[in-house]
Copies of this chain bind each other. A is one copy, B any other.
Amino acid sequence: MSSGFPERECQGCVRYIEIEKPVLGNNTADAQRLEQALTRELVREGGNKGVMVPWHLLKNLPSFLRRWDYKARAVLFKDRKSWRLVDIVPPNLTDAGLSESGLGPCLAESGPARPVLGAAIDLGTTRVVIQLLDLESGKTLGEIGFDNPQVVIAPDVLARIHHSHKTGGLEQLQRLLVDGVNDNLNKLCRSKGCALDDIYLVIGAGNTAMTHLFLGIEAFEIIREPYIPCVNIPDTLKAIEVGLEINGHGLLFLFPNIGSYFGGDLIAGILFADLDKKQAPCLMVDVGTNAEIVVGSRDWLMACAGAAGPALEGGVSKMGMTAGPGVIDTVMIDPLSRKVEIHTIEEKPPVGICGSGMIDLAAALFLSGMIDIRGKFSRQACGNRLKEIEEILSFVLVDRAHSGTGQDICLSQVDLNSLTSSKAAMYTILEVIVKNTAGLEFEDLETFYVAGTFGSFINPDSAISIGMLPDIDRSRFKVLGNSSLGGAAMLLRDPSAFDRIMEIRQSITYIELNVNQEFMNMFSGAKFYPHTDRARFPSVPLL
Among A222-230, A384-392, A397-405, the stretch in contact with B: A222-230
Pairwise interchain contact B62-A228, C-beta atoms closer than 8 A: yes
In the assembled complex, A280 has its CB within 8 A of some CB on chain B: no
A510 to B25, CA, bound (A): 11
Complex partner residue of A59 from B22, B62, B218, B232, CB under 8 angstroms: B218
Pairwise interchain contact A52-B235, C-beta atoms closer than 8 A: yes
In the assembled complex, A260 has its CB within 8 A of some CB on chain B: yes
Complex partner residue of A22 from B32, B61, B226, CB under 8 angstroms: B226
Pairwise interchain contact A29-B81, C-beta atoms closer than 8 A: no
- CB-CB under 8 A from A225, the residues of chain B are 24
* Chain A residues bordering chain B, tally (CB within 8 A): 54
Pairwise interchain contact A23-B226, C-beta atoms closer than 8 A: yes
Q: How far is the CB of A162 from chain B (nearest CB, A)?
A: 13
9 other A-B residue contacts (CB within 8 Å) besides A27-B259, A54-B237: A22-B228, A24-B227, A29-B259, A52-B80, A58-B215, A58-B217, A58-B218, A62-B221, A81-B82
A23 to B61, CA, bound (A): 50
Q: How far is the CB of A23 from chain B (nearest CB, A)?
A: 6
**CB-based closest 4 A-B pairs:** A31-B231, A27-B259, A29-B232, A29-B229
Pairwise interchain contact A30-B221, C-beta atoms closer than 8 A: yes
A338 to B428, CA, bound (A): 110
- A193-215 interface code vs B (CB 8 A; 1 in, 0 out): 00000000000000000000001
Cross-chain pairs A/B with CB under 8 angstroms, 29 sampled: A22-B221, A22-B228, A27-B226, A27-B227, A27-B260, A29-B233, A30-B231, A31-B230, A31-B232, A32-B232, A49-B49, A50-B80, A50-B81, A52-B80, A52-B81, A52-B233, A55-B234, A55-B235, A55-B237, A56-B241, A58-B215, A58-B217, A58-B234, A59-B216, A59-B217, A61-B218, A61-B230, A62-B218, A81-B82
Write the residues of chain A forming the contact surface with B, with a CB cutoff of 8 angstroms: 22-32, 49-50, 52-56, 58-63, 80-82, 104, 170, 215-218, 220-221, 225-235, 237, 241-242, 257-260, 510
Q: How far is the CB of A503 from chain B (nearest CB, A)?
A: 15
Chain A contact surface mostly: loop
- CB-CB under 8 A from A234, the residues of chain B are 55, 58
Q: How far is the CB of A189 from chain B (nearest CB, A)?
A: 25
A227 to B29, CA, bound (A): 9
- CB-CB under 8 A from A32, the residues of chain B are 231-233
Pairwise interchain contact A232-B81, C-beta atoms closer than 8 A: no
- CB-CB under 8 A from A30, the residues of chain B are 221, 228-231
Q: Select the residue from A215, A220, A228, A233 with max chain B CB neighbours within 10 A.
A: A228
Pairwise interchain contact B27-A228, C-beta atoms closer than 8 A: yes
- CB-CB under 8 A from A226, the residues of chain B are 22-27
A82 to B49, CA, bound (A): 10
Q: Whose C-beta in chain B lies nearest to the C-beta of A49?
A: B81
A216 to B104, CA, bound (A): 12
A23 to B242, CA, bound (A): 31
- CB-CB under 8 A from A50, the residues of chain B are 80-81
Pairwise interchain contact A220-B54, C-beta atoms closer than 8 A: no
Q: Whose C-beta in chain B lies nearest to the C-beta of A235?
A: B52
- CB-CB under 8 A from A259, the residues of chain B are 27, 29
A233 to B241, CA, bound (A): 25
Known: A27-B260, A53-B235, A221-B30. A58 touches B230 (CB 8 A): yes
Pairwise interchain contact A29-B230, C-beta atoms closer than 8 A: yes
